[in-house]
C-alpha cells in the first residue's frame, strides 16, 4: 500500500518525495491517508513510517496480494544507477545464464532484451 500511495502521486503528477526519491514529504502522507494508511515522520527519511490499519487491510485484502507482486516488479525497474558509469544512466542487468550488460533504464523498461546465449530476457539487478 505504501507503493500504491507513490503510484497515486505519479498518476496525479504530484512530487511526493525529495532529494532523489530519498525523503517522503507531507504530500506523500496526505495521499497515503486517502488510501486509508497511517503515516508518521520517521527520521531521517521524512513521512515514511507507513502502517495499514486492520480496517484498511480487510477492505483491500484482494488487492494487497496483487500489489505485493507489482511492488516487486516496480522495485526491479527502480534499481539504483550503476556505480562508476560517470553518467549514472546505465543499469546492470543479467540473463539467467549469467551474462551481464548495462542499459538505460528506459531501454530495460521498454521491452525485453533477449540474451543470444540462452534466449532469455535480461533482468535489472541490484548492485551491492
What pLDDT score was predicted for residue 15? 92
Are 100 and 79 contacting, i.e. CB atoms less than 8 angstroms apart? no
Answer whether 0.75 is exceeded by the pTM: no
- Report whether pLDDT(83) > 60: no
Q: Provide the residue ranges of all domains of the chain, joining segments of one domain with +.
A: 2-77, 90-124
Neighbours of 62 (CB within 10 A): 8
Phi, psi of 86, rounded to the nearest 5 degrees:
85, -55
- Report whether pLDDT(109) > 90: no
CA distance 99 to 125: 12
| Arithmetic mean of pLDDT over the chain | 82
Higher pLDDT, 15 or 78: 15
C-alpha cell recorded at residue 60: 483491500
Are 39 and 32 contacting, i.e. CB atoms less than 8 angstroms apart? yes
Amino acid at each position: 500500500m505504501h507503493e500504491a500511495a507513490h503510484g497515486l502521486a505519479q498518476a496525479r503528477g504530484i512530487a511526493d518525495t525529495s532529494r532523489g526519491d530519498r525523503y517522503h514529504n507531507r504530500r506523500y502522507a496526505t495521499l497515503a491517508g486517502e488510501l486509508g494508511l497511517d503515516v508518521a515522520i520517521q527520521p531521517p527519511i521524512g513521512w515514511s513510517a507507513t502502517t495499514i490499519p486492520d480496517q484498511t487491510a480487510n477492505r483491500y485484502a484482494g488487492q494487497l496480494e496483487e500489489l505485493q507482486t507489482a511492488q516487486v516488479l516496480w522495485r526491479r525497474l527502480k534499481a539504483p544507477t550503476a556505480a562508476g558509469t560517470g553518467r549514472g544512466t546505465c543499469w546492470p542487468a543479467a540473463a539467467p545464464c549469467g551474462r551481464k550488460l548495462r542499459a538505460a533504464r528506459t531501454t530495460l523498461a521498454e521491452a525485453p532484451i533477449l540474451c543470444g546465449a540462452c534466449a532469455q530476457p535480461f533482468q535489472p539487478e541490484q548492485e551491492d
